[in-house]
Amino acid sequence: MRPRLTFTSTDPTLGNCVIGAGTGANVGDPDLLGGTETNVPVAQNDPLATFDQRVPSNGVVHAVRGAVVDVVFAEPDLPPINSALVVEWDRPTALILEVHSHLDQKTIRAVAFQSTAGLARGVSVHSSGGPVTVPVGKAVLGRLLDVVGNPQDNGPALPDDTPRRSIHALPPLLKSQTGATDVFETGIKVIDLLTPMAQGGKAAMFGGAGVGKTVLVMELIRAMVEKYEGTSVFTGVGERSREGHELLTEMQESGVLERTVLVYGQMNEPPGARWRAPLTALTISEYFRDQKHKNVLLLMDNVFRFVQAGAEVSSLLGRLPSRVGYQPTLATEVAGLQERIASVAGSAVTAIQAVYVPADDFTDPAVTTISGHMDCVIMLSRAQAAEGFYPAIDPLGSSSMLLNPLVVGVDHYQTAEAVRQALARFRELSDIISLLGVEELGTADRLIVKRARRLQRFLTQPFMVTEDFTGTPGASVPLAETLSGCRAILDGEADEWSESSLYMVGTLADARTKEAAASATDAEAAA
Ligand SMILES: Nc1ncnc2c1ncn2[C@@H]1O[C@H](COP(=O)(O)OP(=O)(O)OP(=O)(O)O)[C@@H](O)[C@H]1O
Report pLDDT digits (tens) over 153-191: 888 999 999 999 999 998 888 888 887 768 888 999 999
With a Cβ cut-off of 6 Å, ligand 1 is lined by 207, 209-215, 356, 390-391, 463, 466, 470
Rounded to 10 degrees, what is the CA torsion of 299, 295, 199, 483? -90
Instruction: Give start-end residues of each CATH 3.40.50.300 domain in the chain.
Output: 229-352
Judge whether 517 is annotated as a binding position. no
User: Which residue in 185, 219, 239, 312 is the catalytic one?
Assistant: 239
Of 188, 211, 222, 476, the residue with max ligand 1 atoms within 8 A of its CB, to mutate for a pocket test, comes to 211
Instruction: Give start-end residues of each CATH 2.40.10.170 domain in the chain.
Output: 12-131
Please count the other Cβ atoms lying within 10 Å of the Cβ belonging to residue 251.
Answer: 22
Of 188, 191, 215, the residue with max ligand 1 atoms within 8 A of its CB, to mutate for a pocket test, comes to 215
- Bridge partners of 377, per DSSP, are 204, 399
pLDDT of residue 56: 64
User: Which residue in 121, 227, 240, 323 is the catalytic one?
Assistant: 240
Answer yes or no: 213 catalytic. yes
Q: Whose CA is nearest to atom 11 of ligand 1?
A: 212
Fold of 411-526: 1.10.1140
Judge whether 514 is annotated as a binding position. no
User: Which residue in 109, 143, 189, 213 is the catalytic one?
Assistant: 213
Tell me the three-class secondary structure of 276-304, residue by residue: HHHHHHHHHHHHHHHCCCCCEEEEEECHH
From the CA of 461, give the closest atom in ligand 1: 1
pLDDT of residue 225: 73
From the CA of 219, give the closest atom in ligand 1: 1
Judge whether 213 is annotated as a binding position. yes
pLDDT of residue 9: 37
Answer yes or no: 250 catalytic. no
| Residue pair 109/101 in contact by the 8 Å Cβ criterion | yes
Q: Whose CA is nearest to atom 14 of ligand 1?
A: 210
Please count the other Cβ atoms lying within 10 Å of the Cβ belonging to residue 496.
Answer: 8
Of 188, 214, 218, the residue with max ligand 1 atoms within 8 A of its CB, to mutate for a pocket test, comes to 214
Q: Whose CA is nearest to atom 8 of ligand 1?
A: 212
The CATH number of the structural domain formed by 12-131 is: 2.40.10.170
How do 343-344 and 177-178 pair as beta strands? antiparallel
pTM: 0.84
Spacing, Cα 212 to ligand 1 middle (Å): 3
Judge whether 507 is annotated as a binding position. no
Spacing, Cα 113 to ligand 1 middle (Å): 30
Spacing, Cα 456 to ligand 1 middle (Å): 19
Exposure b/e, 449-487, CB count within 10 A at least 16 = b: bbbbbbbbbbbbbbbebbeeeeeeebbbbebebbbebbb
Q: Which residues of the chain have pLDDT under 70?
A: 1-56, 181, 228
CATH superfamily of 229-352: P-loop containing nucleotide triphosphate hydrolases (3.40.50.300)
pLDDT of residue 45: 43
Judge whether 214 is annotated as a binding position. yes
User: What residues have CB less than 8 Å from 98, skipping those under 6 apart?
Assistant: 82, 83, 84, 85, 110, 111, 113, 131, 132, 272, 276
Spacing, Cα 260 to ligand 1 middle (Å): 24
The continuous run of DSSP H or E covering 126 comes out as: strand 124-131
CA-to-CA separations, 353 to 236, 255, 290, in angstroms, rounded: 10, 23, 22
Judge whether 210 is annotated as a binding position. yes
Distance CA 525, CA 527 (A): 5
Instruction: Give start-end residues of each CATH 1.10.1140.10 domain in the chain.
Output: 411-526
